[in-house]
Chain A
Amino acid sequence: MNAPYPSDMIISKVLFFFKYEAAAPDVGDTKLLSLFFFVFVFLGSVGVLQIAASYNRMKALSFFRGPKTGYVFGVCAILGSILIFYLTGDRNVIAPRLEGGQVLGLTFLGLATAVVATLAIASYIKRKQVVDGLDEQYPDGMEALDQEVYLPLMKRLWSTLKKKGQ
């Protein structure tokens, strides 16, 4: 028999220390519920990002030219996400039910996916408005998102890192 990886041993020891496996109750088949919960967080987060982008005039996040369309889309996405989650089943039943760790993990996954998807979709929609990626100077941090879509910013970062590496 193969020896277990050290990382597996560490993880199992941590789980044992916190008695995580023993504490987790049987909450039924949570696959479908997890999927709906992920859609809830993802769609709602996309809506929040559109509202924030419209309020801030953030070019890299916004799907639309005018802020009003962004606000309407954002509100519809948030309400839609709530309706999809709560109208597809009774969310107060005992089983299936998501435990705290699952809620945390799926929330983080939904948020991260929403941010990546929003940046990618906005980059695709506004691909013809790109000024010039590599030679432009942009401010640090999120201020750059006001001026340029995300893909050229990443290209510029990549070329800077490559130059430093040479």
Chain B
Amino acid sequence: MGMSPDWRLFEWVNGLSGNALVDALMKFIANDYFVPVIVTFILLGLWFGARSLVQRRLNQWGVVWAAVGVGFTNLFIQVLNVNIGFDPWPRPFDAGHNYNLVFGYVPSDPSFPANSAAVAFAFATGVFMGNRKAGTVIYIIATLWGFSRVYVGIHYPLDILGGAFIAILLTYLFKKVLFLFEPLPTLLLGIAKTLHLADIPEEFSWKSINWRPTIATKWWRKERS
């Protein structure tokens, strides 16, 4: 029986390993900590680091959408993998084909979808909707992280693509339906604005908060009309 294109692509990318210098670089990028922290630094820089008020507001919305996207993407993957038990295939090093495992790895979650890729692409998508340039930079970092995870032998390419697809879709979706969670977002951002730590929401006063949840408000208005 022939190998699937995913397996062949994995073996090709993973087969590139062997050069000590490139391996060390890929180990560094594929690490569980480096990319999330660097992306967090970028988000912090975006929050505080725009000269114009308009751009700062856009950046801050981007950071909010990214944070919400990461939260819901993680929740979705947790429910998919742990609660539903969706675990379609083992990790490459457990699947019985040729591989080079560049460093020792004990997985704590299923191979598909790649949680790392999901987090990085959720960050990138959220930021991209507020700041295209910064979003593109994070997309490049996310792609490099995904590539390095295949290179070191802990994910298949389809794991990375699946994680990225879920993250992009959910982050975009939750940006569109964030208003359903009112008044929580306005309240939290309003507190931050009062403490001079945010510039959104644009028009904010404590009296302007709609204290009823939005879905309930709509239902209540419908009943009355």
Query: Which residues from chain A sit less than 8 Å from chain B, CB to CB?
Result: 17-19, 23-25, 27, 37, 40-41, 44-45, 48-49, 51-53, 55-56, 58, 60-61, 78, 82, 85-86, 91-95, 97-100, 103, 107, 111, 115, 138, 140-145, 150, 153-154, 157
Most interface-central of B33, B40, B56, B115 (chain A CB within 10 A)? B33
Q: CB of B204 within 8 A of chain A?
A: yes
Contact of A141 with B33 in the complex, beta carbons under 8 Å: no
Chain A residues whose CB sits within 8 angstroms of the CB of B74 once the complex forms:
100
Contact of A107 with B37 in the complex, beta carbons under 8 Å: yes
Tell me, in angstroms, the Cα distance from A41 to B105 when the chains sit together. 24
Contact of B109 with A92 in the complex, beta carbons under 8 Å: no
Q: CB of B27 within 8 A of chain A?
A: yes
Binary contact readout B95-130 vs A (1 if CB under 8 angstroms, 0 otherwise): 000000001111011000001000000000000000
Contact of A52 with B48 in the complex, beta carbons under 8 Å: yes
Tell me, in angstroms, the Cα distance from A27 to B36 when the chains sit together. 19
Contact of A91 with B31 in the complex, beta carbons under 8 Å: yes
Contact of A103 with B32 in the complex, beta carbons under 8 Å: yes
Chain B residues whose CB sits within 8 angstroms of the CB of A100 once the complex forms:
74, 115
Query: Which residues from chain B sit less than 8 Å from chain A, CB to CB?
Result: 27-28, 31-34, 36-37, 40-41, 44-45, 48-51, 53, 56, 74, 78-79, 82-83, 103-106, 108-109, 115, 193-199, 204
Contact of A58 with B196 in the complex, beta carbons under 8 Å: no
Would you give the shortest CB distance from A37 to chain B, in whole angstroms? 7
Tell me, in angstroms, the Cα distance from A64 to B82 when the chains sit together. 49
Chain A residues whose CB sits within 8 angstroms of the CB of B104 once the complex forms:
92-94
19 A-B pairs besides A45-B41, A140-B196, A142-B199 with CB distance below 8 A are: A18-B82, A45-B40, A48-B41, A51-B45, A52-B48, A55-B49, A56-B49, A56-B51, A60-B196, A93-B104, A94-B106, A98-B32, A100-B74, A103-B32, A103-B33, A107-B36, A142-B196, A143-B199, A157-B195
Main secondary structure of the interface of A (DSSP, over half): helix
Would you give the shortest CB distance from A142 to chain B, in whole angstroms? 5
6 inter-chain pairs at a CB distance below 8 angstroms, sorted by A residue, are A41-B40, A45-B40, A45-B44, A92-B103, A92-B104, A138-B196
Which 6 pairs across A and B sit closest by C-beta, in order of nearness?
Answer: A52-B49, A52-B48, A141-B199, A92-B103, A25-B108, A94-B106
Chain B residues whose CB sits within 8 angstroms of the CB of A51 once the complex forms:
45, 49
Closest to B79 in A: A18
Tell me, in angstroms, the Cα distance from A71 to B33 when the chains sit together. 24
Chain B residues whose CB sits within 8 angstroms of the CB of A61 once the complex forms:
48
Contact of A103 with B197 in the complex, beta carbons under 8 Å: no
Closest to A153 in B: B196
Chain B residues whose CB sits within 8 angstroms of the CB of A58 once the complex forms:
48
Chain A residues whose CB sits within 8 angstroms of the CB of B50 once the complex forms:
56
Contact of B82 with A19 in the complex, beta carbons under 8 Å: yes
Contact of B31 with A92 in the complex, beta carbons under 8 Å: yes
Contact of A143 with B41 in the complex, beta carbons under 8 Å: no
Closest to A99 in B: B108
Contact of B41 with A44 in the complex, beta carbons under 8 Å: yes
Chain B residues whose CB sits within 8 angstroms of the CB of A25 once the complex forms:
106, 108
Most interface-central of B27, B34, B37 (chain A CB within 10 A)? B37
Would you give the shortest CB distance from B20 to chain A, in whole angstroms? 15
Would you give the shortest CB distance from A100 to chain B, in whole angstroms? 7
Q: Which of A17, A24, A107, A142 contacts B108 (CB 8 A)?
A: A24
Given contacts A25-B106, A103-B36, contact A48 B51 (CB under 8 A): no
